[in-house]
Structure 1
């Protein structure tokens, strides 16, 4: 059959026995997703096209996470559109203040994404759910509108690059460093409209949070999606969360890949992406010493409980540099509560950091940490384009949570190993 894991998922959702790279297909959707920025556009497009009902009120998801709690009148109006629509349509999976979280952390947590499923979202980091062995990808708001109304979407079947992982990550190195290393190696268009498929013995050494971070940033290499095989780690995560049957897919042994890239996880060091592209990466030894004014630990990439624990391990008993505004954002209410129960929030506050309710906030320059002229931020977010987090002269340096926490203490980009 010669199909990759992604191609098998697309084939079954298109009702076909086989698909090949480049083929155009129409496929059934298991879940559609929009947020408070993209949702209103999709709703308007759906209504403009003459549709008055969603295809399935349980398979349309709206998450208020970008400017929530609302920062101004416009953001409040955006949320009201989504809220009214959800009430009218009886949308089951509508998440607002109090139960919301950053969408790409919230949906897996709620059991709304499962192995083998096909998920589209009007947000580029929808590719996150490949960590669970699903095909998930970002689409435009118009495409999402069609999906919300019909339960179908068209795709060009992607070819694939195989990343064969071996070894085990060292202390203070995480999935964020794996994907930053890969993007630095192949570039921001190195996997353009391709599937990034991760395999090899090293996969079993990666936590589910590591895998979420890796798949989350597949789009930063231009990929259509990122995907991991389903193993014991995956099943342990979905067990008790996913209440429906799901199907596990594996790539054929003779599946065709455009390229196979070998990565020894044990050789990786903490990695930092310098402005203004995620591909502008350097190992920590070449990044040390850059002064910062802000540190952000959170986002759909690194706002999970493992990230909170790593940051707390470094910040415990220490104080952040007085000149560094340190903002920590648990990605969901459940993660926030878990961090509270474990005493992590207390550690953060005693260290001089502030802790925010779950929000995308500063990642996209929304609020909760906007940069002024010439300021620099170390951030566990996923993009560092010009003006991404504020003024066009500001700079964003992407890192893992350990590096961000260590840098918050010293006031300059720091290797965690140097202070621990």
Structure 2
């Protein structure tokens, strides 16, 4: 059969087989099954089919994150139904409203390890590729089947290899790399592919930056995204996992490293692309498509009404730190609203400890409860018609933030903070102290 890509190896492992061929239909048993606020709808379907018990409650992870605190009686009812379902089924991996966004939380809790498979009722489940796991979004009916049987079929995807060389320049981020990929290869360029990153540039990226890449690749249409796990990943996960299991950190680290999967040197790829990180520049996705991308210099000066830093793509500590560095001792421009929502309670607590939150509040920012916030247009910062928003989120199609008449630009948190400071889209390198 020849060399195997990461996706082939991960699917083969989840299927209990030695190999898997591209295009083959394979029955898999994932290590973790993820759902969030949509658990209520899935649970109703589960009950309507006469099903009473999930196959393995220890493989379920449920997080309340999309509408927290609940903005309507219906959202509150959904949360109440989920709490009852969790108690009835004996689901231990349940994370209450305020703990944070599912993808961030499951990483922080070390519930996902290199080489494992996570299937979730959320498109950004690709996030877990940052830790060397196979993460893929599936539909609610597929999650229902997984609850009932513990298994589902997958078609083994072909793979695209993206090689990263060098290091990012000052003021350029992993978000800019992703936007450049979308511009070059289009939003559907990775449709049902496994996108597998390689090269010395991967090691130069922080764990948080790798999460940006794996998460944001969902907008590239991929089935999964993968960055090869290294010592940085093992060191990040080991103490977290040890706290969960009670085992010695070094023993846990060795076990984590042993479970990692890597593509074979002679694995076959559908295409290969090279990006030299030092050659990249800040990029912005313009309304109303994630691949309508231009260099920041071409849209600089565009007036904004609202700036948003957060979401599963860019609500981590290094994102908040970047914003605080720009806004320290300064004020948001008159007429501009800046909303900052940490991706998790862990991020919020550390940002508080380091003084970032105080800096942002003094600059005029609003701080939201950890969760998805206005990203999906539920609440906590919906723009008015004809307003212009610059967001660190993942999507900018019409109505994404709840208002079809609003215009949404996507950029890195540093660009968002600099733009909030000036009241117009701004290169952060122009305002860095």
Common topology (TM > 0.5):
yes
* Structure 1 match to 2:36: 35
CA deviation after TM superposition for structure 1 residue 295, in Å: 0.4
* Structure 2 match to 1:63: 63
CA distance in 2, matches of 1:402, 1:97: 28
CA distance in 2, matches of 1:304, 1:401: 10
* Structure 1 match to 2:334: 322
CA distance in 2, matches of 1:349, 1:50: 51
- Answer yes or no: is the 8 Å Cα contact 1:295–1:327 preserved in 2: yes
CA distance in 2, matches of 1:43, 1:57: 13
CA distance in 2, matches of 1:217, 1:337: 25
* Structure 1 match to 2:248: none
CA distance in 2, matches of 1:254, 1:44: 47
* Structure 2 match to 1:25: 26
CA distance in 2, matches of 1:87, 1:402: 42
TM-score when normalising by structure 2: 0.95
* Structure 2 match to 1:281: 293
* Structure 2 match to 1:97: 97
- Answer yes or no: is the 8 Å Cα contact 2:171–2:282 preserved in 1: yes
* Structure 2 match to 1:307: 319
CA deviation after TM superposition for structure 1 residue 236, in Å: 1.6
CA distance in 2, matches of 1:370, 1:410: 21
CA distance in 2, matches of 1:70, 1:390: 16
Q: Does 1:194 align with 2:210?
A: no
User: Deviations along 1:331-358, whole A, 9 cap, x unmatched?
Assistant: 1111100000000010001000011110
CA distance in 2, matches of 1:78, 1:29: 26
CA distance in 2, matches of 1:237, 1:143: 31
- Unpaired segments ≥5 residues, structure 1: none
Give the SS at the match of 2:33.
strand
CA distance in 2, matches of 1:158, 1:8: 11
> Within 5 A, what are the aligned runs for 1:10-409?
10-36=11-37, 38-98=38-98, 100-242=99-241, 243=245, 245-246=255-256, 247-409=259-421
CA distance in 2, matches of 1:191, 1:377: 27
Give the SS at the match of 2:144.
helix
CA distance in 2, matches of 1:285, 1:32: 42
User: Deviations along 1:163-203, whole A, 9 cap, x unmatched?
Assistant: 00001001121111111111111111101100010000111
Give the SS at the match of 1:217.
helix
User: Deviations along 1:345-397, whole A, 9 cap, x unmatched?
Assistant: 10001000011110211101111110111001100000001111132110110
Give the SS at the match of 1:197.
strand
- Answer yes or no: is the 8 Å Cα contact 2:63–2:97 preserved in 1: no
- Answer yes or no: is the 8 Å Cα contact 1:297–1:401 preserved in 2: yes
- Answer yes or no: is the 8 Å Cα contact 1:128–1:216 preserved in 2: yes
Which region of structure 1 is more displaced relative to structure 2, 383-392 or 397-406? 383-392
CA deviation after TM superposition for structure 1 residue 149, in Å: 2.0
CA RMSD of aligned residues (A): 1.1
CA distance in 1, matches of 2:158, 2:49: 32
CA distance in 1, matches of 2:204, 2:14: 31
- Unpaired segments ≥5 residues, structure 2: 246-251
Q: Does 1:2 align with 2:3?
A: yes
CA distance in 1, matches of 2:417, 2:161: 32
CA distance in 2, matches of 1:138, 1:368: 25
CA distance in 2, matches of 1:314, 1:368: 24
Give the SS at the match of 1:61.
strand
Which region of structure 1 is more displaced relative to structure 2, 50-59 or 406-415? 50-59
CA distance in 1, matches of 2:84, 2:317: 32
CA distance in 2, matches of 1:18, 1:57: 28
- Answer yes or no: is the 8 Å Cα contact 2:179–2:285 preserved in 1: yes
- Answer yes or no: is the 8 Å Cα contact 1:41–1:142 preserved in 2: no
| Residue-pair matches, total | 418
